[in-house]
A and B are shown apart, each in its own frame.
Chain A
Amino acid sequence: MFSRIFVEKSVGHLPQISVIKERFSNTPVTEIDAIEDIFGRVKKPYLQKRSNLQLFLGKKKGTLVKEAPDAYGLAGEPHYYFIHAYNCIYECEYCYLQGYFQSPDIVLFLNHDEIAIEIESVIKRHPDQTVWFHAGEFSDSLALSHLTGELPFYFELFKRNPQAKLELRTKSANIKELKKLSALENVITSFSLSPQNRIKATDLKTPSLKHRLSAMRELQNLGHPVAIHLDPIIHEDNFLETYKGLFDELNEYLDLTSLAYVSMGVVRFTSKVFHQVKKNYPHSELLAAEFHSSFDGKVRYPRPFRLWLLGKIKQLALQSGLREEQIYLCME
């Protein structure tokens, strides 16, 4: 999986380092002073993740918890995200990470104790509100969780802080570590889903829809709160039939009425990311669509289409048994 592992001296003693080294015993390991001495110092082409993906292990410096942008989650409550990793093992053609770090290499930050201190300090600043914390803004929350081993730590943290909520965002079906933990009402695992044909076409290397649905069902059965992100919604010729099929499958696998929420968002790019998509995936179906620069400078479908797509999906969701209050529109 990794062509090389770089370990910061400051974390060399942590037990997780031994676990990772053992798991990748054939991968060369190099000790370094600081991740930033190597990572991001040169512009590494995004698609080199296919042949030359490197892993960096170290400590995150600077701000560890950041306020989330508007319309990030359920409205009316403060939302924050914390950064415990950069980049992702998957390769979604629309992914904003391809224009973000100038390197596809995976960085895992292991100073979770310091992240926890910042999270608790944010919670204290909002004594009368439910504060949301999202993991997975710059990486997938579960894909490597069997290696990184931080989930028990965060479950403990949010057990101590029941007034706050934690969202673990993922496209993986890797629930091995989650299954070992007792469910908490305030820790929600949210799965980003698309119809299987879209997953195959654009969400390269991600688990199939069926695998994700099975994982979701297992978690639901164990009492873990589960949510869904129908994001990004991408238009295609038989769009309505495809999404109808997706909702049928959701109904088959899950109790939709007990989902914590379902968010919906139509595909969108910053102009920088859109440029990267064109460069990295010149034959992508995404590029056959007509996009415009929209109200916030992002590249999107024309507004009537976006609203039509959202309206149709919402209608299908309601017909499938979801309640109005379970649904929210993302970033629109």
Chain B
Amino acid sequence: MGELLLTSPERKHIILAFAHRGEAKCFLNELDFKPINALSDSYLLDSENERLSLVITGEGKENAMIHLSYTLAILKERFPKDHFLVHNLGVCGHLQDSPIKFELGEIVNVRTVYAQKNNNEMEFKSFSTVPNGNNNNKKDSKNQSDLISTSERILSPDSSHHLSNFAPLVDREAWAMAYACHKQDTPFMCTKIISDFADGEVCVRVKEKSEEWSDELLRFFLNQEKQISSALPTNKEILTDLHITISQERSLNNLMRALEIKGHSLEQILEKCNYSQLLAEEIRPKEKTKELLKRMADLLNPLEKELRDQLEEATGCLQKVGFKVRFDQGHENDVVHLTTSLENHENINNLIAGLESFDYLKFKEILRGRDV
């Protein structure tokens, strides 16, 4: 049997996104970040197994969207093989009219991020964060909740009451960061510490408490870091003995996943597909890959194979005389498409003989679900 390699040449790369420098203070003090050239307010910590970047976007949705989008684009260009994840950390307000109650200083993993538009209407588009050890959909989740990124810093009682119908937490940036990540197909996480009740007191409290909150967030991040890595794809199974194109790799992964869902282990799949025998065959590596994919598809869909075999048999007389045979996708119609080339008079007679021996009614029966 050929060697099956688990390779992970790419590195995990977490971008910590903060709106305010105060929120990031302990991260910058305690971890060995270095400024990134040509990127303002952005830092990098490069270790053997992973990279950690830190970006301070500035306040509000516009700043967050512009700064994070730019940073993501630059970092993706600079480290094209890395698996990125953006983790927004910072403070948020708690809407007291919400039936879900939180204490000041409590840390919450955000599950879904909503937004308030500039005209105070709700933005329809929302974004879900990736699970971080606490599955997003589990029930026992006092420490995970939903959040709205508002357009105003201080909310009127009416606005606060209205927003509490949608989520119990508010900030000013998370939705924009999630949107930037969505646009760049990057997973997004969000962790907030409750700093205020969205009533204007936050500005006073930030000065007094910013270091304490930043320290809490750093402690939380370091504890969660192992669980975060589970949200990143790390290993890619590659059959190294085969020549495999990108599209074949996609098919291979899809088939592998589907067969695993049906309870086949990798070893069983390879055994049932006679993989070792296939490797020994004297055909080109490209053909081997094609054949392996066909065998896996047949294993996944035995009925499809049966149908294909029956159609092959029913149209064999046409193929034998030189017709190329094609069917509609999904066999939605009782149609067989035939193409051929004529080179001499003898061809015509052969084709006529082939057509005459074709049993259309039998073919139709197969497409109408006769025992396959």
Decide yes or no whether A303 CB sits under 8 A from chain B: yes
| Shortest beta-carbon distance from B363 to chain A in Å | 11
B111, B146, B330, most chain A CB atoms within 10 A = B330
Known: A283-B261, A290-B301. A42 touches B99 (CB 8 A): no
Known: A6-B165, A285-B262, A304-B307. A44 touches B112 (CB 8 A): yes
Decide yes or no whether B137 CB sits under 8 A from chain A: yes
Which residues 279-305 of A sit at the B interface, judged by CB distance below 8 A? 283-285, 287-290, 292-295, 300, 302-305
Residues of chain A within 8 A (CB-CB) of B370 are: 308
| Shortest beta-carbon distance from A91 to chain B in Å | 10
Known: A287-B261, A288-B262, A304-B368. A44 touches B126 (CB 8 A): yes
| Shortest beta-carbon distance from A235 to chain B in Å | 7
Residues of chain B within 8 A (CB-CB) of A285 are: 261-262
> Are B165 and A32 in touch, CB under 8 angstroms?
yes
Once the chains are docked, how many angstroms separate the CA of A310 from the CA of B370? 11
Which of B25-33, B49-57, B117-125, B205-213 faces chain A? B117-125
Residues of chain A within 8 A (CB-CB) of B63 are: none
> Are B332 and A38 in touch, CB under 8 angstroms?
no
Once the chains are docked, how many angstroms separate the CA of A306 from the CA of B304? 12
Decide yes or no whether B259 CB sits under 8 A from chain A: yes
Decide yes or no whether A311 CB sits under 8 A from chain B: yes
Decide yes or no whether A28 CB sits under 8 A from chain B: yes
Residues of chain B within 8 A (CB-CB) of A305 are: 303-304, 307, 369, 372
Once the chains are docked, how many angstroms separate the CA of A45 from the CA of B137? 10
What is the total number of residues of chain B having a CB less than 8 Å from a CB of chain A?
42
Decide yes or no whether A19 CB sits under 8 A from chain B: no
Closest residue of A by beta carbon distance from B367: A304
Closest residue of A by beta carbon distance from B123: A42
What is the total number of residues of chain A having a CB less than 8 Å from a CB of chain B?
43
| Shortest beta-carbon distance from B22 to chain A in Å | 30
| Shortest beta-carbon distance from B104 to chain A in Å | 21
Which residues 15-46 of B sit at the A interface, judged by CB distance below 8 A? none
Residues of chain B within 8 A (CB-CB) of A41 are: 122, 124, 166
Which residues 254-295 of A sit at the B interface, judged by CB distance below 8 A? 283-285, 287-290, 292-295
Decide yes or no whether B371 CB sits under 8 A from chain A: yes
Which residues 162-192 of B sit at the A interface, judged by CB distance below 8 A? 165-166
> Are A308 and B330 in touch, CB under 8 angstroms?
no
Known: A30-B165, A38-B166. A295 touches B332 (CB 8 A): yes
| Shortest beta-carbon distance from A131 to chain B in Å | 32
A6, A102, A303, most chain B CB atoms within 10 A = A303
Once the chains are docked, how many angstroms separate the CA of A306 from the CA of B136? 36
| Shortest beta-carbon distance from A15 to chain B in Å | 24
Interface of B is mostly: mixed
> Are B258 and A293 in touch, CB under 8 angstroms?
no
> Are B124 and A42 in touch, CB under 8 angstroms?
yes
Once the chains are docked, how many angstroms separate the CA of A122 from the CA of B88? 55
Known: A3-B99, A48-B112. A38 touches B258 (CB 8 A): no
Decide yes or no whether B337 CB sits under 8 A from chain A: no
Decide yes or no whether B114 CB sits under 8 A from chain A: yes
Residues of chain A within 8 A (CB-CB) of B125 are: 43
> Are A50 and B330 in touch, CB under 8 angstroms?
no
Decide yes or no whether B366 CB sits under 8 A from chain A: yes
Residues of chain B within 8 A (CB-CB) of A318 are: none
Decide yes or no whether A51 CB sits under 8 A from chain B: yes
| Shortest beta-carbon distance from A56 to chain B in Å | 11
Having A38-B166, A288-B300, A304-B368, one finds 17 other A-B pairs with CB under 8 Å, namely A42-B124, A43-B124, A44-B112, A44-B126, A51-B137, A52-B146, A285-B262, A287-B261, A288-B261, A290-B301, A300-B330, A302-B331, A304-B331, A304-B369, A306-B369, A307-B369, A308-B371
Query: What are 25 A-B interface contacts by the 8 Å CB criterion?
Result: A32-B165, A41-B166, A42-B122, A43-B124, A43-B125, A45-B112, A48-B137, A51-B141, A237-B302, A283-B261, A285-B262, A288-B262, A288-B300, A289-B301, A290-B304, A292-B330, A294-B330, A300-B330, A304-B331, A304-B368, A304-B372, A305-B372, A308-B303, A308-B371, A308-B372
Kindly list the 5 A-B residue pairs having the minimum CB-CB distance in the complex, ordered from nearest. Answer: A307-B369, A292-B330, A28-B99, A308-B369, A288-B258
Task: Name B residues whose Cβ lies closer than 8 Å to a Cβ of A.
Answer: 99-100, 111-112, 114, 122-126, 128, 136-139, 141, 146, 165-166, 257-259, 261-262, 297, 300-304, 307, 329-332, 366-372
